[in-house]
Amino acid sequence: MNLDDIKACIPHREPFLWLDEIVSLEENGIHARKLVSPDSDFFQGHYPDNPILPGVFLCEAAMQASAVFIAKLGVETGDKVPVATRLNNTKFRRMVKPGETLDIHVNLKERLGAAYFFTGKIMVGDETAARLEFAVTATDK
């Protein structure tokens, strides 16, 4: 899936769209990619002499990938939007620098009604940048 396909699935838009492409979509998971642009404004303040991607953006990328996954399940969401409702056991293992590419792997662990429980792993090359467990729920706009 390309950027236009992603935008057709989720409400997120630039500058807060943290997916560039969907590499694969499987029955229980999704693999997405994002190039971390060196031109992103937040690098001016986080940190000027040693820019690193804020960890919360790694979590957001995984959650956006899960929203695409939910949309591609064919679940009728109507006027609902995906929102994060839980974040557990988050571990940041490696700093992400400007110009690096994130490989975002998200797997569905359980679904209870409109709540979806996922695990996520964000990689840079062969190295794990972050691991997390989270829930996303389709809620009214």
Query: Tell me, what's the pLDDT at 75?
Result: 64
At 69-115, the pLDDT tens digits run 999 987 656 677 889 999 999 999 999 999 999 999 999 999 998 89
- The rounded Cα 120 to chain-centroid distance in angstroms is 8
The CATH number linked to 54 is: 3.10.129.10
- Tell me the mean pLDDT in the region 119-139: 96
Q: Which of 141, 18, 25, 5 has its CA nearest to residue 83?
A: 141
Q: Which two tokens stand for residue 81?
A: 């939007």
* 102 neighbors 58 (Cβ within 8 angstroms): yes
User: Is 46 annotated as catalytic?
Assistant: yes
User: How many domains, in total, are found in the chain?
Assistant: 1
3-state secondary structure of 5: helix
Q: Which amino acid is at 139?
A: T
Task: Give me the chain's average pLDDT, please.
Answer: 94
Q: What range defines the domain where residue 43 resides?
A: 3-140
Burial of 40 (0-12, 13-18, 19+ CB in 10 A): middle
Query: Tell me, what's the pLDDT at 79?
Result: 74
